[in-house]
């Protein structure tokens, strides 16, 4: 495919945990002109250098500090903008998408990559929903992409690892007996590479998942594949404990709204939604209006939990842990 006939895609947040694997999958797909927008201070980070060496073209910009006009200059000639910025930079996405609209971008993908959830259950999803309304009102084409929970956060990290993701993986909730939809970050990227070129997904929400299992099933796989009793490292918060955590986090947020207190609500609210209510499933996502990515792309086979666990426990820490 000549570079003129390829879609030009710009990934914002390509130095991050999700964005790096999205940019990697776009390069692997070999059907996009792949650009990444990175903050001037981040251009020497290993992930950015790696993507550049693989052929991604780097543009410098900052969605919080740049004006619409400054961002617009970086978006001339871009067909699709995919944002994978962190929660702390969500405010800048309005500026980014306004600039995208002005520059004639055909489709934008905001940094969702979470649950399909009705209003009032998860504060972060409500905030992302406001951004969806902003995008719809702008009149720019869009696709909202949800992925359930990262499989990377559900498989307990090997006992010799440390860090925030490892700690997160040692917490869960509920009885372990409800089905939950998971996607490893590698497959988030691969799904995105399918979705953004597909006319059927324009102005739609798409729900991706690699596997849908109970925690009991996940931990059986984790113990067997890792050869360790990792299940015993996981604290399973009860329904009552999670309800208390949600209430405490809600009070903290109402007393002092900030990124910290928003983030403080994410884990208990998400755990309650998926592990207690059992609503993080493809069935629920479809009920709420999402397209099922597995049905859209029957030829794409994402990794099963078993397959991913083999990679996860074999490859750590190089690929999955500290420095993707």
Ligand X SMILES: NC(=O)c1ccc[n+]([C@@H]2O[C@H](COP(=O)([O-])OP(=O)(O)OC[C@H]3O[C@@H](n4cnc5c(N)ncnc54)[C@H](OP(=O)(O)O)[C@@H]3O)[C@@H](O)[C@H]2O)c1
Of 9, 10, 11, 12, the one binding ligand X by CB under 6 A:
12
| Burial class for 9, CB neighbours closer than 10 Å (0-12, 13-18, 19+) | buried
* 43 binding ligand X? (CB under 6 A): no
User: Kindly report the CA angle at 198 between 202 and 10, in degrees rounded to 5?
Assistant: 80
The least CB distance from residue 324 to ligand X, in Å, is: 9
Q: Which is nearer to ligand X, 73 or 200 (CB)?
A: 73
Is the distance from CB of 293 to CB of 208 less than 8 angstroms? yes
Q: Which is nearer to ligand X, 16 or 173 (CB)?
A: 16
Q: What is the x/- site pattern for ligand X, positions 95-124, by CB under 6 A?
A: ----------------x-xx----------
Residues 136-195 that bind ligand X (CB under 6 A): 147, 149-150, 153
* 219 binding ligand X? (CB under 6 A): no
* 45 binding ligand X? (CB under 6 A): yes
Give, for 192, the enclosing helix (H) or strand (E): helix 185-195
* 212 binding ligand X? (CB under 6 A): no
The least CB distance from residue 159 to ligand X, in Å, is: 22
The least CB distance from residue 81 to ligand X, in Å, is: 12
Q: What is the x/- site pattern for ligand X, positions 46-85, by CB under 6 A?
A: ----------------xxx-------------------xx
With contacts defined by CB under 6 A, how many residues of the chain interact with ligand X? 27
Per the structure block, which two tokens stand in for 173? 């909730």
Of 9, 10, 11, 18, the one binding ligand X by CB under 6 A:
18
The least CB distance from residue 62 to ligand X, in Å, is: 4
Q: How far is residue 80's CA from residue 109's CA, in Å, rounded to a whole number?
A: 8
**Neighbour-count burial for 306-323, b at 16+ CB within 10 Å, e otherwise:** ebbbeebbeebbeebbee
Asked whether the bond before 317 is cis by omega within 30 degrees of 0, the reply is: yes
| Burial class for 130, CB neighbours closer than 10 Å (0-12, 13-18, 19+) | exposed
* 87 binding ligand X? (CB under 6 A): yes
Per the structure block, which two tokens stand in for 58? 């780097």
Terminal-to-terminal C-alpha distance of the chain: 28
Q: Which is nearer to ligand X, 31 or 58 (CB)?
A: 58
The least CB distance from residue 13 to ligand X, in Å, is: 3
Of 8, 17, 143, 280, the one binding ligand X by CB under 6 A:
17
The least CB distance from residue 16 to ligand X, in Å, is: 2
Per the structure block, which two tokens stand in for 33? 């002109």
**Neighbour-count burial for 194-215, b at 16+ CB within 10 Å, e otherwise:** bbbbeeebeebbbbbbbbbbbb
The least CB distance from residue 112 to ligand X, in Å, is: 6
Q: What are phi and psi of 108, to 5 degrees?
A: -120, 145
Question: Residues in the site for ligand X, rule: CB under 6 A?
Answer: 12-13, 15-19, 38-39, 42, 45, 62-64, 84-87, 89, 92, 111, 113-114, 147, 149-150, 153
């Amino acid at each position: 495919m000549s570079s003129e006939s390829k879609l030009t895609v710009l990934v914002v947040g390509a130095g991050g945990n999700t964005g790096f694997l999205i940019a990697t999958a776009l390069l692997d797909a070999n059907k996009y002109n792949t650009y990444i927008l990175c903050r001037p201070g981040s251009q020497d980070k290993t992930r950015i250098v790696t993507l550049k060496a693989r052929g991604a073209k780097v543009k410098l910009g900052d969605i919080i500090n740049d004006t619409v006009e400054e961002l617009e200059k970086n978006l001339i000639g871009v067909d699709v903008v995919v944002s994978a910025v962190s929660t702390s930079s969500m405010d800048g996405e309005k500026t980014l998408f306004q600039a995208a609209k002005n520059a004639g971008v055909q489709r934008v993908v905001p940094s969702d990559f979470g649950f399909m959830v009705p209003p009032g259950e998860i504060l972060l999803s409500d905030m992302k929903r406001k951004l969806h309304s902003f995008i719809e009102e702008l009149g720019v084409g869009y696709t909202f992409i949800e992925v359930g929970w990262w499989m990377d956060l559900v498989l307990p990290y090997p006992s010799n690892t440390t860090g925030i993701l490892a700690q997160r993986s040692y917490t869960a909730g509920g009885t372990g007996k409800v089905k939950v939809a998971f996607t490893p970050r590698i497959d988030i990227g691969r799904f995105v590479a399918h979705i953004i070129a597909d006319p059927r997904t324009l102005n739609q929400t798409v729900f991706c998942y690699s596997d849908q299992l109970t925690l009991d099933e996940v931990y059986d796989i984790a113990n067997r594949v890792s050869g360790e009793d990792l299940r015993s490292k996981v604290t399973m918060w009860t329904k009552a404990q999670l309800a208390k955590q949600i209430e405490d986090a809600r009070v903290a947020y109402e007393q002092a709204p900030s990124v910290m207190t928003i983030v403080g609500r994410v884990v208990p609210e998400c755990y309650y939604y998926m592990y207690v209510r059992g609503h993080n499933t493809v069935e629920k996502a479809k009920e709420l209006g999402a397209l099922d990515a597995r049905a859209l792309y029957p030829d794409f086979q994402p990794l099963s939990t078993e397959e991913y666990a083999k990679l996860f426990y074999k490859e750590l820490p190089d690929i999955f842990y500290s420095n993707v």
